[in-house]
Structure 1
Amino acid sequence: MPARTADRRPPPPPGGPSRLTRTADEEPSPRSPVPRPPTAGELLARETTSPRQVVPHGPLADLMQAGLLEAGAVLSFHQRRANRSGRAVVTPDGQLVVDGHATPYPSPSKAAEAVTGNVINGWTLWHVEDGRTLDVLRRELESRNSQ
């Protein structure tokens, strides 16, 4: 009986078989466990303990470079009617790490949306510890720059 062509394997590439492929008769390797996402605190610790110089970028960069907002600053809000509040920490690169969320957010509005579930203006929602909103800080910076 002639050999069937479907049972034949193609010849190995020059230099031997590739390590990135396996043949049909090889058992797949056991799956490695999927790592858990880092917590907000772990993300912030990575950013603040990094030996490299971190330059802020994104919407908060100007406030940070002007000294009106610092890495590690705690932002918060409370909406009485909706009975909800939020807390976020500014990272050295200008993102916001929101409590209960592992991924940093690139803008105040995206961070606010993550907490409220609604599209919302984060510049007028988030407050720094002295009570000023990010929008007030942004207007202070604009008035400094216009003088």
Structure 2
Amino acid sequence: MARRTIEVDDEVFAFLQQHCEPLVDTPNDVLRRLLLSGGSEEPQEKAAPTGRRLLRRPGALFPLINAGVLAPGDVLRHEQPRRRMVHQATVTSRGWLKLADGRQFSTPSRALAEQTGTTINGWIYVHVPSGKPLQVLRRQVEHS
């Protein structure tokens, strides 16, 4: 396969960074996923250079899905009462968190940091179906 070099401005590069898994995706991987796969951003698979399919690593919530305390499609919620803001994310089948704008993150802290604009422990997201924070569910799985 022939390789081409393109230049992108800082804004386009920042967009690519928001849609990639650091140290795994190349800019080409992101563009391929966004442009050639019908815009699907579900980070389950990516094409390897040889043409075979590789599964991407599961997200941090995957063990909680396997343990049965979370399910794909479950909603997570974090409230900031003083700022009058509510942030939500949806659990994907591979244990990633999907935001309303379509961006996906492998860890709760990264997802919540993107939503709040500050470094924050994302394990404080509340699992809406159970009413429990993720950190409680994680401890429950670790001690079972």
Unaligned runs of 5+ residues in structure 1 are 1-18, 22-33, 48-53
Q: After TM superposition, give the deviation of residue 20 of structure 1 in Å.
A: 8.4
In 1, distance between residues paired with 2:40 and 2:70? 21
Pairs aligned (count): 103
What is the TM-score when the length of structure 1 is the normalising length? 0.59
Partner of residue 47, structure 2: none
Matches within 5 A, 1:1-147: 43=41, 57-100=58-101, 102-124=102-124, 126-129=125-128, 130-144=130-144
Unaligned runs of 5+ residues in structure 2 are 5-30, 45-54
Higher fraction of strand: 2
Q: After TM superposition, give the deviation of residue 43 of structure 1 in Å.
A: 3.8
Name which one, 1 or 2, has greater alpha-carbon Rg.
1
Amino acid in the other structure paired with 2:107 = S
In 2, distance between residues paired with 1:20 and 1:143? 50
Amino acid in the other structure paired with 1:128 = H
Contact 1:56 1:94 in 2 (8 A): no
Q: Percent identity among equivalent residues?
A: 32
Q: After TM superposition, give the deviation of residue 78 of structure 1 in Å.
A: 1.0
What secondary structure sits across from 1:77 in the alignment?
Answer: strand
Q: 1:59 to 1:119 in 2, by over 3 A?
A: same
Q: After TM superposition, give the deviation of residue 82 of structure 1 in Å.
A: 2.1
What secondary structure sits across from 2:126 in the alignment?
Answer: coil
Runs ≥4 residues deviating over 3 A? 41-44
